[in-house]
Amino acid sequence: MNRVEIERKVLSENDRIAAGLRGRFLSQGTLCVNLISAPGSGKTALLERTLESLDPQRRVAVLTGDIQTDNDAARLRRYGFPVRQITTGGTCHLDARMISRALEDSTWGSLEILFIENVGNLVCPASYDLGEAAKIVLLSVTEGEDKPLKYPSIFLKSSLAILTKIDLLPYLQFDIERAEENAHHIHPAMEIIRCSSATNAGIDRWNEWLAKRRQEILRSKPEFETAGAS
């Protein structure tokens, strides 16, 4: 088997496990979102502001991936929701098997929202389906307007782009309209939210987006499950 065939086999095995996860999330009414960005674009900070804004009674959990350290899990645990670190030990992305194992080991039961914070990498995580309802790409305004054109795959596969750190715009030469045009050039129907975890700008819109997507999950839940859950 050559390298391309091996890659194909790994991805098809991943897709099989991801399909199982997607079925499980759907039957449990769980909205699962997969947050992807470059290192340091603010995935953890956005999740901190999000968890802080949520009613602590809600059934919400986080899986956070890193090559090394459990720094992100430690930051996120302060908000009272269950958080699990997946340390990949060198692997540049999360895969469906890592998610499946982490969920098997947990006692979380059925969740309303599962946030997955992927490894900081704008390339490789785009290839791995984790059974999520939506991939979400974060782009910090410190990174340059041309990133959607340079990393088209993740912008094509994400339902939503979050432009982060907009509080820094006054100090940067960053043309935010141009960045949005570039994202729409790659993915015309892409939704975009401008956000700052320093000022909380955009957090309400992001929570509305999550609520709307969760309703869609509940509406598409198989009949027999909806009946049982009422």
- Taking alpha carbons only, the member of 129, 121, 127, 115 closest to residue 90 is 121
Which of these segments, 22-30, 103-111, 118-126, 221-229, binds a second copy (CB under 8 A)?
118-126
Q: Between 22 and 147, name the residue whose CB sits nearer to a second copy.
A: 147
Q: Which of 11, 54, 123, 156 binds a second copy (CB under 8 A)?
A: 123
Measured between alpha carbons, how far is 106 from 112 in angstroms, rounded to an integer? 15
Q: Between 128 and 209, name the residue whose CB sits nearer to a second copy.
A: 128
Q: Between 72 and 112, name the residue whose CB sits nearer to a second copy.
A: 72
Q: Are 182 and 145 in contact (CB under 8 A)?
A: yes
| Residue 113, beta-bridge partner list | 31, 60
> Strand 134-140 relative to strand 113-117: parallel, antiparallel, unpaired?
unpaired
Please report whether residue 122 would count as binding a second copy according to CB under 8 A. Answer: yes
CA 227 to chain centroid: 29
Q: Between 32 and 122, name the residue whose CB sits nearer to a second copy.
A: 122
Extract the tokens encoding 65: 């991936």
* 223: Cβ contacts below 8 Å, ≥ 6 apart: none
Q: Are 115 and 60 in contact (CB under 8 A)?
A: yes
Question: Which residues from 97-116 bind a second copy, rule CB under 8 A?
Answer: none
Q: Between 2 and 230, name the residue whose CB sits nearer to a second copy.
A: 2
Amino acid at 114: L
Token pair 């100090």 in the structure block, residue: 171
Q: How many residues bind a second copy (CB under 8 A)?
A: 38
Q: Which of 61, 103, 119, 179 binds a second copy (CB under 8 A)?
A: 119
Q: Are 125 and 119 in contact (CB under 8 A)?
A: yes
Give the number of residues written for the chain.
230
Closest separation between CB of residue 170 and a second copy, Å?
8
**x/- map, 187-226, a second copy, by CB under 8 A:** ----------------------------------------
Question: Which residues from 71-90 bind a second copy, rule CB under 8 A?
Answer: 71, 90
Query: For binding to a second copy (CB under 8 A), which residues are involved?
Result: 1-3, 6, 10, 38-41, 66-69, 71, 90, 92, 119-124, 140, 142-144, 146-147, 149-153, 165, 167-168, 171-172
